[in-house]
Amino acid sequence: MTGAAPAAAKPPASPLLVASLAVSALSLALPAALGPVGPLVAGVLAFLGWRGVARSGGALRGPGLAKAAMTIALVLFLVQAWAVVRGAASAAAWAGIRARLAAVEETLRTGTAEGAWELLSPETRARTERTAWIGDLRDSLAALGPLVRLGEAREEGGDWARTAEFGSGDAAELRLPVSFDAEFRGGRGRIEAEFSARRRGREVSTGIESLRVVPGGR
């Protein structure tokens, strides 16, 4: 009696498809680290794997696996690309605010009250009496001297709770008041400022809506 023929071994899965799924899994686990690059690489691997399976003549298995790998990579890429586009507005706003804060710090170290006036947004300068504003800041700097060290920032209400929404919708505007305990050459003081961030579509602008130096810390 002749024994049953052994079952034919299944062909191996395409290594490129396996690699594509692994990269997709890594992209899902570490989205901030890989961004859209991870899913893009996974998609390329999936496409090459699909071509390898098609040309293998059955030596490699994986038509269904190839479809799944390409679909997963595409979905992840779209999600990551959407997150990057949405986050770009927030990144631009924070970069603008950091640059304006650096300008304030430099002006209070080495500049004048007249120089600080020029840092204010055009809207603020238009509604503020220049001579009185410069006089108040000049008096504070005369009492305190140049800035030596800027302390940690404290959020002071405003729209800080809405910063995560800045990239949503067609337009957004935030008012972000902040204060710093600061060390001046003549003693301790406090710097109070309000920054603005505006977005119209993809266009982002920032400004300084108020700036005040107060002798004595909080």
DSSP letters spanning 88-144:
HHHHHHHHHHHHHHHHHHHHHHH--HHHHHTTS-HHHHHHS-HHHHHHHHHHHHHHH
Quote the distance between the C-alpha of residue 110 and its chain's center.
31
Residue 60 lies in a domain: yes
pLDDT tens for each residue of 166-199: 877 888 999 999 999 999 999 999 999 999 999 9
Q: What global pTM score does this model have?
A: 0.65
Side by side, the strands of the sheet bearing 171-184 are 147-155, 171-184, 187-200, 203-215
The pLDDT of 31-46, averaged and rounded, is 79
115 and 195 fall within a common domain? yes
Supply the range of the domain harboring residue 26: 15-85
Q: How confident is the model at residue 67 (pLDDT cuts 50, 70, 90)?
A: confident
- pLDDT value, residue 54: 72
Nearest alpha carbon to residue 215 among 187, 177, 179: 187
199 and 122 fall within a common domain? yes
